[in-house]
Amino acid sequence: MSEYMLKSDIKADIAHLKEIDPDLYGAWMDFHNSVFKDGALTKKEKELIAVAGAHITRCSYCIRSRVNISKKHGASDQEITEAIYVGMRFAMGAPYAYSSMAYEAWDALENDVPLTEGHFFKKNIAHEIKCFSDASGEIDGKFKEFTKKVFADGALTKNFKRGLLGLACAQMTRCPYCIRGCVKDARAADFSKEQIAEAINVSVVMAAGACYAHSSVAMDTLSKINSEVEKQIIKHSKKEVI
């Protein structure tokens, strides 16, 4: 294994990935490139969504790549920063919404209802969220203030942050409540089905992109293994000649 898991340059590893199965690599890149073309959303908008998505997947390679590409397509430092904070807010959104499961369980235990009854994903979790908010005390106010600041109009509009950027992040955090809320916001902001689809497709690419970038570790490992095997074969051959 290399001295460092995260290298500054993974081009050789990605070339190895392509060399092993060029057909699969080609299909992946064809999908990837089609997603990031200008369409119902601009390439710049898609790259900003990708910046937020890369922070959701915690992929250092993706973060570096998408920030670079965003800058090349005209994104400002402020826009990139706001996109990151939207990613942070939606990383918080899933555990916040899922607090409803904890408080559903609490209510069930208080009323001697078996925990195997009821629904983990209820349609309406307003009661459970209120219980969580009340129990959180002043922390809940700070969370709501942070949320208000994240989604305020700035370098990026509130509508873009909530309806498209947020939706892509919600898809990646796999939070059904967040997804539902973002679709509601997207419709209220008059975003089209095509714009929603393109935002979701960016999230699809970014979810896979972390796997793609970290294939570097697998390719580096394979190279080391194969090199060691070749050394052993050569060593064995020399012994036979002697």
Q: What mean pLDDT value characterizes the chain?
A: 92
- Residue 82 within any structural domain of the chain: yes
Is 165 within a domain? Answer: yes
Q: Assess whether pLDDT exceeds 90 at residue 241.
A: no
Q: SS3 for 226?
A: helix
CATH assignment of the domain containing 181: 1.20.1290.10
Number of C-beta neighbours around residue 50 at 10 A: 26
186 pLDDT band, cuts 50/70/90, is: very high
Q: What is the mean pLDDT of residues 203-208?
A: 97
Judge whether 150 and 89 are in contact, CB under 8 Å.
yes
What is the 8-class DSSP label of residue 152? Answer: S
Q: pLDDT above 90 covers what percent of the chain? A: 84
Helix (H) or strand (E) holding 93: helix 77-110
Does residue 3 fall inside a structural domain? no
pLDDT in tens, 46-76: 999 999 999 999 999 999 999 999 999 999 9
Give the pTM: 0.89
- Domain residue limits at 194: 11-241
Per-residue buried b or exposed e for 60-94, using 16+ beta carbons within 10 Å of the residue's own CB: ebbbebbbebbeeeebeeebbebbbbbbbbbbebb
Domain count for the chain = 1
Which amino acid appears at position 53 of this protein?
G
In this predicted structure, what is the pLDDT of residue 1? 44
Tell whether the model's pLDDT for residue 112 goes beyond 80: yes
CB atoms within 10 A of CB 230: 10
Is 4 domain-assigned? no
